Structure 1
Amino acid sequence: MATLDTSVLNSINQTTTTSGVTDSTQSVSSTEELNDQFMTLLVAQMQNQDPMDPVSNSDLTAQLAQISTVSGIEELNTTLEGITAQISSSEALQAASLLDQGVLVGGNAVLVGNATSTPFGLELADDVDNATVEVLGADGSVVKTFELGALEAGIHGFVWDGLLDDGTEAADGSYQLAVTAERAGESYDDLQTLSYGVVSGVNQTDSGAQLDLGPVLGVVSLDAVRQVL
């Protein structure tokens, strides 16, 4: 039984493998030209095939299915490029809307100044039976303790009034947070402390939107934001 010459089809498949999937700039016209070449070859072979040994319907159908798959991949790539562009545009707009907004991101710093302190947060992957947050001074000593009790999974925000455990006001500066938690009678550590920062700038980079939170927290990605306050 005769078979189709797959040289053009192989050329199409090779082009798709080396540039159609990895090179987002391949033009639609290039794909159309390859399709035309394939169909021209197919018609020529059908016209010149041995009538005593014709190409089978199944073989013909298989070849046509492959060229359709190649075209489908090109259309899919074009669609994905459009979706990616829309996501990038949406991310940029979302980041821009956060300018001058307060946010919570992963971190363990809390700042005190002018008798006020920045908010802080705690993110838990599961419910816990008890949680305790300690505020540490520059020398590592505990200056304030928060007994939070049982907490549900999720993000919890807190505000420190700036008073130490002895009732005096904390000196201006940066303090660190330390958390301990228990679940079902055992120590639990699937958690993270959250620090507060104000978005002072937004930069769009190849890796996505970057938010400038100032000298203490620095620059973070948009997906690092756990809560907007």
Structure 2
Amino acid sequence: MINAISSATTASSSSAAVTSTQAEAGSQDRFLKLLVTQMQNQDPLNPLDNAQVTSQMAQIQTVAGVEKLNASLGTMASSFQQAQALQAATLIGRDVLVPGNSMTLSEGQGRGAFELADSAASVNVEVSDASGQVIDRFSLGALDKGRHHFSWSPEGGTDLSEVTFKVTTGSGSAASTATTYTRDTVGAVITGASGLELDLYSGRSAAYNSVAAVLQH
């Protein structure tokens, strides 16, 4: 997979470079032809001013310079995309945290994560089934500011494949919702219209730049 990504990106870069070079050569050729034609048909009593010719030549040089800059930026963008694709490929088989509030249960256990903007004296978790019905509530006690992880298992051997969770701090009017993350495993890396995307074991996809953390199993 890595070779395929590399080859496709390299081919794209080479094609872009050739197209840019051809476009630049064509622009300069058209300019020279127009300039020669203009000089051949000029009024002998009112010849072209040297300053005017110099100005026109400076303009074509400016255009050529912009085209070269655009070609360089295109090459840099392709190289960055290639490096990003190679880096993303190393995530295959790894667990990642992406924005979300779902837990996929494996062997009767699910794992989730959340982030607190401030320390909290009381952190509470509410778990709901696919229909949105609350099936469990529990407290994690007092926690410091930052990211935290937890695991959960349904009571009584309830057969669930996936649940959602909500994390709150405090109680009553002082309660606030924490930022939650879904923990999932990367199955593949694909290139989409909006950039690199990760195919996850749960069947979902996530943007590569949305990954908040990479974890061990």
Give the TM-score of the pair, scaled to structure 1: 0.66
Find the counterpart in structure 1 of residue 113 from structure 2: 121
Indicate conservation of the 8 Å contact 2:110/2:153, yes or no.
no
Measure, in 1, the Cα distance between the counterparts of 2:187 and 2:34: 62
Indicate conservation of the 8 Å contact 1:104/1:195, yes or no.
yes
Find the counterpart in structure 2 of residue 67 from structure 1: 60
1:21-32 superposed matches below 5 A = 26-32=19-25
Measure, in 2, the Cα distance between the counterparts of 1:27 and 1:205: 25
1:47-62 superposed matches below 5 A = 49-50=42-43, 53-62=46-55
Find the counterpart in structure 2 of residue 38 from structure 1: 31
Structure 1: runs of 5 or more not aligned: 1-23
Find the counterpart in structure 1 of residue 149 from structure 2: 158
Match of 1:179 among 143, 146, 167: 167
Q: Give the aligned length.
A: 192
Match of 2:70 among 52, 58, 77: 77
1:143 aligns with 2:133: no
Q: If each structure's helix is expressed as a fraction of its own residues, which one has the higher value?
A: 2
Helix, strand or coil: the match of 2:134?
A: coil
Find the counterpart in structure 2 of residue 222 from structure 1: 208
1:109 aligns with 2:97: no
Indicate conservation of the 8 Å contact 1:103/1:198, yes or no.
yes
Q: Amino acid of the residue matched to residue 197 of structure 1?
A: D
- Residues 106-155 of structure 1, C-alpha deviations (whole Å, 9 max, x = no match): 1112244446432x22246xx42437341324322542222444415xxx
Indicate conservation of the 8 Å contact 1:135/1:175, yes or no.
no
Match of 2:180 among 167, 183, 193: 193
- Identity level (%): 28
Measure, in 2, the Cα distance between the counterparts of 1:133 and 1:64: 72
Q: Amino acid of the residue matched to residue 29 of structure 2?
A: D
Measure, in 2, the Cα distance between the counterparts of 1:186 and 1:58: 75
Find the counterpart in structure 2 of residue 212 from structure 1: 199
Measure, in 1, the Cα distance between the counterparts of 2:78 and 2:142: 44
RMSD: 3.4
Give the TM-score of the pair, scaled to structure 2: 0.69
TM-aligned CA deviation for residue 196 of structure 1: 0.6
Cα separation, partners in 2 of 1:82 and 1:102, compared to 1, 3 Å: same
